[in-house]
Amino acid sequence: MGRPSGVQVTGPLAMYSDGFRVELSRQGFTANSACPQLQLMAHVSRWLAAQGLAVKDLTPARVKDFLDARRAEGYTMWLSPKAMVPMLGYLRDIGVVATPVPAGPSTPAEKLIEAYRTYLVQERGLAAGTVADYLHVARLFLATRPVDGELALERLSAAEVSAFVLTECTTRKVGSAKSIICGLRSLLRYLYVSGHTELQLAAAVPRVAGWRHAGLPKAISPHDVARLLASCDRRSTFGRRDFAVLSLLARLGLRSGEVAALELADIDWRAGEVIHPGQGPPPGAPASARRRG
């Protein structure tokens, strides 16, 4: 791969190459990973000189032009804007390349999302993860509104809210559906307090049915059990142990914690029974339950 000190940079970026080497080292780049970055800087500098451009001309549009030219020259690596991040970050930090100003929101939906973000952060004081989840739901919901330039939120109805919930939650698991419901209620409360809707529609959001034990796993088939047991190499100590544990789980219905707690004294070898603590035996029954192996 070569050494970073062996890469020669000529052209407009030459005076910044030594500082970039130091910065790459400070950021933890190894010699092998720093070398391609300096080679990329050298190529950018040659391209700027050939185009009659200065360092300050490295705008996002010029960066795209350079990457297009690099690709056209047959290069197969370091062809994306991500590859330019270390070099551009350094040049922007030292003030020779301007930091691009992000474009403001343009569509009504984007403007509403930004206002909603400010409300969640400044008024509600929510954590960053929660804000991200709520904004995701907001984008999903606003994408269902008219696309002719206006959101028409003043005409939003409870039926439209219910239809959105039905569409989004039908194929989701309970946890994901509840996240959609929570985010939608938050958005609708904001739309009401900010005057976008005349009605408080958060109450129109239906609940998610989350019955207890609805997510219990199904039993595997006898065929799969047989295949699992057959996978144990019973010629080895570990294989025999695994076979014994899986047999207890599959044939006696013991839980993993019950199997882990078993001791030799819990096995009645003559009767062919395993004794284990029960879940609360009925009155008159012994304190432990027996299962025949």
Three-state secondary structure along 267-281? EECCCCEEEEECCCC
Per-residue confidence (pLDDT) for residue 287, from 0 to 100? 43
d(CA 108, CA 149): 7
pLDDT band, very low/low/confident/very high, at 282 (cuts 50, 70, 90):
very low
- Mean pLDDT within 196-203: 88
Per-residue confidence (pLDDT) for residue 9, from 0 to 100? 92
Helices (H), 119-263: 128-142, 158-169, 174-193, 222-230, 237-251, 256-261
Per-residue confidence (pLDDT) for residue 186, from 0 to 100? 94
Residue indicated by tokens 């509840």:
178
Task: Name the percent of the chain lying above pLDDT 90.
Answer: 33
Pair 201, 161: CB distance under 8 Å: yes
> What pTM was computed for the model?
0.43
Pair 134, 187: CB distance under 8 Å: yes
pLDDT tens-digit profile of 22-41?
888 888 888 888 899 999 99
Closest Cα partner for 156 from 209, 205, 117?
Answer: 205
d(CA 253, CA 274): 12
Per-residue confidence (pLDDT) for residue 73, from 0 to 100? 93
d(CA 274, CA 267): 5
Report helix angle 31-51 to 60-72, nearest 10: 100
d(CA 85, CA 79): 12
Task: Report how far Cα 95 is from the mean position of its chain's Cα atoms.
Answer: 34
Per-residue confidence (pLDDT) for residue 129, from 0 to 100? 79
d(CA 157, CA 161): 7
pLDDT above 50 (res 288) = no
Strands 267-268 vs 288-292: parallel, antiparallel or unpaired: unpaired
The Cβ of residue 168 has, within 10 Å, a number of other Cβ atoms equal to 18
For residue 64, give the amino acid letter. K
Strands 288-292 vs 273-277: parallel, antiparallel or unpaired: antiparallel
d(CA 45, CA 38): 10
**E-assigned strands of the chain?**
267-268, 273-277, 288-292
Specify burial of residue 259 (Cβ count, 10 A radius: 0-12, 13-18, 19+).
Answer: middle
Tell me which range, 1-10, 114-123, 144-153, is most confidently predicted by mean pLDDT.
114-123
Angle, CA of 241, 243 and 244, to the nearest 5°: 65
For residue 225, give the amino acid letter. V
Distances (CA, A) of 113 to 75, 138, 188, 191, 285: 40, 7, 13, 11, 64
Per-residue confidence (pLDDT) for residue 152, from 0 to 100? 86
